Structure 1
Amino acid sequence: MTGRRHTGPTLADATRGRLLLGGDYNPEQWPEEVWYEDVRLMKEAGVNSVTLGVFSWAKLEPRPGAREFGWLDTLMDLLHEHGVGVVLATPTSSPPPWMGRLHPETLPRDENGQVEWWGSRQHFSHSSAVYRRYAAAITEDLAARYGSHPALTLWHINNEYCTYDWGDEAATTFRDWLRRKYGTLDALNEAWGTAFWSQGYDGWHEILPPRRAHYMRNPTQVLDFKRFTSDMLLECYVMERDIVRRHTPHIPVTTNFMPLWVGQDAWRWAEEEDVVSVDLYPDPRDPLGAQHGALVQDMTRSQAGGGPWMLMEQAAGPVNWRGVNHPKPRGLNRLWSLQAVARGADAVCYFQWRQSRQGAEKFHSGMVSHAGERGRTFQEVKRLGADLAAIGAEVSGRPLTAEVAVLFDWNSWWAGAQDGRPSSEVDLPRVVRDWHRALWEAHLTTAFAHPEHDLSAYRLVVVPQLYLLTDTAIENLLAHVRGGGTLVCGFLTGVADEDDRVRPGGMDARLRELLGIRTLHEWWPLDPGEDVRCDGFRGTLWSEELEAADADEVIPYRGGELDGLPAVLRKGRAWYVSTLPEPAGLRALLTRIADGAGVRPVLDGLPDGVEAVRRGDVLFLLNHGRDEVTVEVPGTHRDLLTGTTVTGPLSLGRYGAAALTP
């Protein structure tokens, strides 16, 4: 498995050497006279791309088989006349009420058997043949009508695929999926370990989705159901993608991921997209909001094969779904948008263009807020538009180079997040965030990779935690070290195979040999707030009772039950970290390991809170603090954002940014 290989149209076919600025445009919520005001403001702000039709199914098809395209014809023409390209969405994420009323089998059921009714969105069963038929029909007619329209630059399929279904039609489809995967019931019973608790199946008709049960459900059944759900949603996407591709093979196709969404194996999905896109909503009050943004951006860029990607949605101000929804302070929207560009985005878009006056998201911000064009939000969007125009030619299409890869796998997440584990406190995304934070604060440019991807381009491979590893993945890690690379594995890695079967010894023997571990005696999870002392740092969340074999270096636990036993081991270029060091300790450890692997920071001596990222020939400096800082920049540069020449120390004000070229 080498990673994403793409030969079709790309984001460059939509950007044409620019950076895109825009967002979801929902003109059906407004009278027609507002549309003309919208295009005036778009031009003023430098908006060159909008997404149409995401939730417009009932408007386009108000009754079965009807088609009302006149309003969309007007908008496509109007936007083209004003130089705004259209990302045209298929509206299939929100079926009209008539579909659920006439065809209740299209509605999903939860694990308790309760129907999820219309009146919100995403109320469709991915397995419903009726839903798929209607979705294909509306997609076919949209592609036929607008495929040759000059405004069309990109196709956007559905929206934030996130539907589960435990209903009867899904059960039938699940059985078909299992037949294809296992072939025989004997193979399924072996993989699922059904000898435990008298769960052996004698007929395919006996198998159900993992619905509500008296006690814990079969872990491998749950794991396969998550795999199945991701695959069924992907089938829905591919069905619509293939329809629009048939009409417009030259127009790229995307669908928007939610960051670290548990329901989609994004590595598999990215292989089916021309453009990888994501929605990103860090909390403006989170002191690590910028690091969360960087993590999602690094992961999305990596899913795109290292090339440009699309920030499909972000908030210009507050969202509406947190308990308390804080606005973005002055300058933060611009800073986080430039951060996305620095980390590979060639499109910066929002939900949404104009803030809604009605509906569930009327308090979710828009590029044009309730305050209108004089409001701070729109004025900041205008400034961002000028920034993107100033840097677009130097940045668009340019790559980033990373020598560090963080490994992440949805199958491992699905398997490791179930009931009956040693600690419910262990959450893979949290562990990954902590390790990525250490690398981010050390100013080490980071990529993400699947454990079976080609790792030869990376000096350092980091595995924060991969509970489930296939034999192929394990051999891949061994090959990386044999080839001269450095490997760091975190705790609870290599425990189970692809069927969630614990490997003999509690960790794969090949990994134990690689890492210098003779015996893993016991896992010692820690309670919330509990820690363990180690030489040089404190460990949190987890610890392990290990016996070293022929390790070249050991950092021991100090005190307590594990006193003197190894907390960290190194054998050659392979490291094992059996706890989660507190942030400063983890940063120091990874910095030391990276330095030994020949990986250097983007820029030395950066003040706290300043992020440095090099994209192509452009060095981005981003101040994530409210206080002015001074950055020592060697040589002479031109700041693309200001047009000024920079020699020596550079001052960055509150949420300030610079884009420097030699």
Structure 2
Amino acid sequence: MPETTPRGLTRLAFGGDYNPEQWPESVWQEDVRLMREAGVTMVSVGIFSWALLEPSPGTYDFGWLDRLLDLLHENGVRVDLGTPTAVPPAWFYRAHPDALPVTAEGVRYEFGSRAAICHSNTDYRAAAAAVTTKLAERYGDHPALAMWHVHNEYGVPVSACYCDSCAAHFRRWLATTYGTVDAVNEAWGTAFWGQRYTDFDQINPPRLTPAAVNPGQALDYKRFADATMRENFVMERDILHRLSPGVPVTTNFMTALSQCDSVDYWAWGREVDIVTNDHYLITDGRRTHVNLAMAADLTRSVAGGDPWLLLEHSTSGVNWQPRNPAKAPGQMARNSLTHVARGSEGAMFFQWRQSRRGAEKFHSAMVPHGGTDTRVWREVVQLGAAVDALSEIRGTRTEAVVAVLWDWHSWWAQNLDWRPSVDHDARERADAFYEALYDRHLTVDFAHPEADLSRYPLVVVPALYLMTKAAGNNLTAYVRNGGTLVVSYFSGIVDEHDAVHEGAYPGPLRDVLGLTVEEFSPLLPGERVRVSGPDGSELGADVWAEFVVPRGAETVLTYADGLTAGRPAVTRHRLGEGTAWYVSTRLGADGIDALLGWAVEDARLTRRADLPRDVEVVRRTGESGTYLFAVNHTGSDAKVPLEAPGTELLTGERAVGRLPVPAGAVRVVRLDG
């Protein structure tokens, strides 16, 4: 079995992407001196270095990389060594221009950015295999090598190509997946609009058409594009496993729901030896620390609950948003240690030294343009000491009590053309329900709809438009066996081929929810509805309403106005030993909190009313002990009740009763016993 932790790394990982090829070698000695000062334990190297490693076809220059890896080893810094296959050299594209991807509109991209790759191109695959083989042969047993880093952020910025090579590859994929062209016709419903095929050779990618393309075809093309990228990863991974045995192989994910919508990370998580993730704050006015926690929880879930590694985030501002504010003093540490609380085995950054040239020269780094006499550098050094002080938590696992169901295939299908309302956003509902659970201080795992859910008292389905019959049966069994389920609107509508389930909505959820939905009634922009309880209390909602017919479920809230006035808006259904809730409209934050309050009571979970808002408390447990992380995102000092006394690892102080957590600070207690 491949190793699942970086080889030779005995502390938590702390460091970042190191790109010394951007600097004269005279700077390297200064770099390693500063790395020792900051407590750096690992750096990522060589990710964008193909043009330097292979300056002309078949001619390799490893001298600079030899010197670099030896220097890092001499200074006690482990190496996450990249295969540079995200950016082939200019000479490669001059020889193989058809390796550049083509858009659905028929426009071929040019060289000059990053990750412009047709993943079906056989010349690209051969060149990627060759450079990976050379690297593995030369460095597979280098004493500095901790793990291999294949490619970079698959799917960003291009995941799908629509060229003729991809068309031929897509046909082969369809033949393997379906067996016959008749099976494709059945899955895609090609009888509609006369789209029936009689031979695989008649099928093309879903290129530009005058109206909406066949949704089954579009959904399968997303699956094909994801599978094709994964084929290339597996090709490189297998070369590395063969030539560098015992060294784990990863590639950096971007699981944050707002950042990458083209990759099925449930599938990818099964292929890497270590799950790693890149996370960057989306500063759009929302509470950025909530999205950060959500991304960390999702990454841990993709890792199956095992520890994972934050491979990139930023010390301060980024460079690719319309406006890129700096992080506040102390925010870098809070961000980093929140990831650690939620399962990361360290905190790595992009990048070590801030670039002077190129597209990301205004992206923050561990060593900023201003050098060491800067706030960012001082905070980096402080964070390095804090991460080192937490090394005993390695191998422990984060505890969660609620599961939120998420499926990338459902998200892909939901986002295709011609849905009932452009205002319904599956990711927005996931964000909204997660935020409500976060504010109740309930730690969340994400789960695939067909996963074993038996250990969770509460399961939330914020938006699962595509649901297989197996997933519906899974949720029904979960509730029958005593679970509490919360389902939001427009869930359980279509099967894996984007075909509406037979019978009334919501398909495989009808029995578990004890209802049917006669018709959707999306609302117009600015239109709102009121929902009321038997005590006369009211909540506001927008975007969506439904004509719900109870078939065993009890009505908890009723539409007070609009087309659906007098109809059920929120229902509760007892089934077996458990309970299923359904909300048929887009409730605001107050409404979601009220709904979850009822569900939490059914699930016999306790709300942490003793914790202030935006003071998050997370536990990691394992053979080394139980660790309580308290992260104070507020501007006021807080006190967190402790279930047992312990030792605070960042200060060395004893902690008894109520743990003081200063404004903006993090505290980590190893509980006694």
Pairwise TM-score range, normalised by the shorter structure:
over 0.9
Residues 527, 381 of structure 1: alpha-carbon distance in 2 compared, 3 angstrom cutoff: farther
Structure 1 distance, partners of 2:381, 2:342, is 22
Aligned equivalent of 2:233: 237
Is 183-192 or 37-46 further displaced after alignment? Answer: 183-192
Structure 2 distance, partners of 1:204, 1:283, is 43
Aligned equivalent of 2:48: 55
The structure 1 residue matched to 2:189, chosen from 171, 189, 193, is 193
Aligned equivalent of 1:293: 292
| Alignment check: 8 A CA contact 2:7 2:145 kept | no
Aligned equivalent of 2:620: 615
1:72 equivalent to 2:65? Answer yes
Q: CA deviation at 1:598?
A: 2.3
Instruction: Please list, as runs of the form range in 1=range in 2, the aligned pairs for 1:140-159 lying within 5 A after superposition.
Output: 140-159=133-152
Structure 2 distance, partners of 1:14, 1:582, is 49
Q: CA deviation at 1:564?
A: 2.1
For 2:378, the aligned partner's letter is Q
1:549 equivalent to 2:558? Answer no
Is 380-389 or 193-202 further displaced after alignment? Answer: 193-202
Q: CA deviation at 1:453?
A: 1.2
The structure 1 residue matched to 2:654, chosen from 633, 642, 645, is 645
Structure 2 distance, partners of 1:493, 1:83, is 52
Is 283-292 or 204-213 further displaced after alignment? Answer: 283-292
Structure 2 distance, partners of 1:592, 1:646, is 34
Q: What secondary structure is seen at the aligned counterpart in 2 of 1:465?
A: coil
Q: CA deviation at 1:635?
A: 4.7
Structure 1 spans left out of the alignment, 5+ residues: 1-6
1:330 equivalent to 2:303? Answer no
Instruction: Please list, as runs of the form range in 1=range in 2, the aligned pairs for 1:415-430 lying within 5 A after superposition.
Output: 415-430=413-428
Q: Deviations over 1:46-73 (max 9, x none)?
A: 1100000110000101111110100000
Aligned equivalent of 1:514: 512
Aligned equivalent of 1:4: none
1:359 equivalent to 2:358? Answer yes
Structure 2 distance, partners of 1:542, 1:13, is 51
Q: Deviations over 1:559-614 (max 9, x none)?
A: 2222221111111111111112111221232133123212235x541112211111
Q: What secondary structure is seen at the aligned counterpart in 1 of 2:572?
A: strand
Structure 2 distance, partners of 1:266, 1:397, is 22
Structure 2 distance, partners of 1:464, 1:549, is 22
Q: CA deviation at 1:425?
A: 1.2
Q: CA deviation at 1:315?
A: 0.6
Q: Deviations over 1:176-224 (max 9, x none)?
A: 0011111111111111111111111122111110011111111111000
The structure 1 residue matched to 2:168, chosen from 169, 172, 188, is 172
Structure 2 distance, partners of 1:506, 1:181, is 29
| Alignment check: 8 A CA contact 1:439 1:591 kept | no
| Alignment check: 8 A CA contact 2:319 2:360 kept | yes
The structure 2 residue matched to 1:211, chosen from 191, 207, 211, is 207
Q: What secondary structure is seen at the aligned counterpart in 2 of 1:51?
A: strand
| Alignment check: 8 A CA contact 2:492 2:507 kept | no
| Alignment check: 8 A CA contact 1:618 1:659 kept | yes
Residues 70, 498 of structure 1: alpha-carbon distance in 2 compared, 3 angstrom cutoff: same
| Alignment check: 8 A CA contact 1:24 1:353 kept | yes
Aligned equivalent of 1:411: 409
Q: What secondary structure is seen at the aligned counterpart in 2 of 1:372?
A: coil
Aligned equivalent of 1:525: 522
1:625 equivalent to 2:634? Answer yes
For 2:77, the aligned partner's letter is V
Instruction: Please list, as runs of the form range in 1=range in 2, the aligned pairs for 1:241-252 lying within 5 A after superposition.
Output: 241-252=237-248
| Alignment check: 8 A CA contact 2:486 2:581 kept | yes
Q: CA deviation at 1:508?
A: 4.5
Residues 263, 285 of structure 1: alpha-carbon distance in 2 compared, 3 angstrom cutoff: closer
Q: What secondary structure is seen at the aligned counterpart in 1 of 2:398?
A: coil
1:369 equivalent to 2:368? Answer yes
Aligned equivalent of 2:611: 606
The structure 2 residue matched to 1:9, chosen from 3, 26, 30, is 3
Structure 2 distance, partners of 1:242, 1:571, is 49
1:581 equivalent to 2:575? Answer no
Structure 1 distance, partners of 2:297, 2:644, is 28
Over the aligned positions, Cα root-mean-square deviation in angstroms equals: 1.5
Instruction: Please list, as runs of the form range in 1=range in 2, the aligned pairs for 1:123-138 lying within 5 A after superposition.
Output: 123-138=116-131
| Alignment check: 8 A CA contact 2:433 2:592 kept | yes
For 2:615, the aligned partner's letter is V
**TM-score, normalised relative to structure 2:** 0.95
Q: CA deviation at 1:649?
A: 3.8
Structure 1 distance, partners of 2:308, 2:454, is 23
For 1:526, the aligned partner's letter is L
Structure 2 distance, partners of 1:303, 1:599, is 25
| Alignment check: 8 A CA contact 1:495 1:506 kept | no
For 1:514, the aligned partner's letter is V
Aligned equivalent of 1:44: 37
Structure 2 distance, partners of 1:289, 1:72, is 38
The structure 2 residue matched to 1:495, chosen from 493, 496, 506, is 493
Aligned equivalent of 2:279: 280
Q: CA deviation at 1:389?
A: 1.0
| Alignment check: 8 A CA contact 2:492 2:508 kept | no
Aligned equivalent of 2:457: 459
Q: What secondary structure is seen at the aligned counterpart in 2 of 1:22?
A: strand
Aligned equivalent of 2:478: 480
For 2:62, the aligned partner's letter is F
| Alignment check: 8 A CA contact 2:410 2:465 kept | yes
1:19 equivalent to 2:28? Answer no
Q: CA deviation at 1:351?
A: 0.5
For 1:146, the aligned partner's letter is Y
1:112 equivalent to 2:114? Answer no
Is 465-474 or 585-594 further displaced after alignment? Answer: 585-594
Q: CA deviation at 1:44?
A: 0.4
| Alignment check: 8 A CA contact 1:11 1:308 kept | no
Structure 2 spans left out of the alignment, 5+ residues: 533-537
| Alignment check: 8 A CA contact 2:81 2:145 kept | yes
For 1:376, the aligned partner's letter is R
1:569 equivalent to 2:571? Answer yes
| Alignment check: 8 A CA contact 1:14 1:154 kept | no
| Alignment check: 8 A CA contact 1:284 1:328 kept | no
For 1:312, the aligned partner's letter is L
**TM-score, normalised relative to structure 1:** 0.96
Structure 2 distance, partners of 1:39, 1:441, is 42
For 1:623, the aligned partner's letter is N
Aligned equivalent of 2:535: none
Is 627-636 or 484-493 further displaced after alignment? Answer: 627-636
| Alignment check: 8 A CA contact 2:616 2:632 kept | yes
Aligned equivalent of 2:24: 31
| Alignment check: 8 A CA contact 1:12 1:397 kept | no
Q: Deviations over 1:344-371 (max 9, x none)?
A: 0002111100000001110111110001
Structure 2 distance, partners of 1:321, 1:562, is 44
Q: CA deviation at 1:292?
A: 0.3
Q: What secondary structure is seen at the aligned counterpart in 2 of 1:174?
A: helix
Structure 1 distance, partners of 2:75, 2:55, is 29
Q: CA deviation at 1:245?
A: 0.5
Q: Deviations over 1:63-102 (max 9, x none)?
A: 1111010000001000000000000000000010111111
**Identity in percent:** 47
State the number of aligned residues. 652
Q: What secondary structure is seen at the aligned counterpart in 2 of 1:155?
A: strand
| Alignment check: 8 A CA contact 2:13 2:348 kept | yes
The structure 2 residue matched to 1:590, chosen from 591, 596, 603, is 596
